[in-house]
Amino acid sequence: MGNLHKTALNDRHVKLGANMVEFAGWEMPLHYETGIVQEHLSTRKAVGLFDISHMGRFTVRGKDALEFLQHVLTNNAAALEEEEGHYTMIPNENGGVIDDAYLYRFVPDEYILVVNASNREKDLAHLEALRKKFGQGGVKRPHKRAGHAQPAGTPGQRIDARSDFRGSIARTPEKLSEHRLH
């Protein structure tokens, strides 16, 4: 697969038997030995993890962060409490969509915007151009090798991040249940 970028979780995907493919310049898992149908059912019945390490992640912080996000995103960033996130879009000046994204707020005046892997450079350039109108601060990109996984599944299911994916990826609900937080 040539000179593809690898996420921090790449070795774990391979160890778990993932069929690895190229995606937006990254080596990513397409599916695991259990197969796509079993993965889908496991996620619907319990919970699964999606490696989002390849996606663009930008930190927006400072006293004007909320005002900036209210200007550059379609969803109401002010509605987010600490430790919440929501789906949003990055519009262009004509109201069209540049990209869809997910916005997280973990602490006051600091947000993380997760954008699609194939659009991260374009999104960063767009946001930086708009950021110049909003005083100090900027849109920062976290370290590339940081590993991130997004839980997916039924409401209320949680995964113990300390498990380091010990069998959590593409496993049956029975095996997955031992990795939930109580």
Domains of the chain: residue spans and CATH: 5-53+147-179 (3.30.1360.120), 56-140 (3.30.70.1400)
What does the pLDDT look like over 14-51, one tens digit per residue?
A: 998 999 999 888 999 998 888 889 888 988 888 777 78
Whether pTM > 0.85 for this model: the answer is no
pLDDT digits (tens, 9 = 90+) for 64-105: 889 999 999 999 999 999 989 999 999 999 999 999 999 999
Give the pLDDT band (50/70/90) at residue 55.
Answer: confident
Distance between start and end Cα atoms, the chain: 40
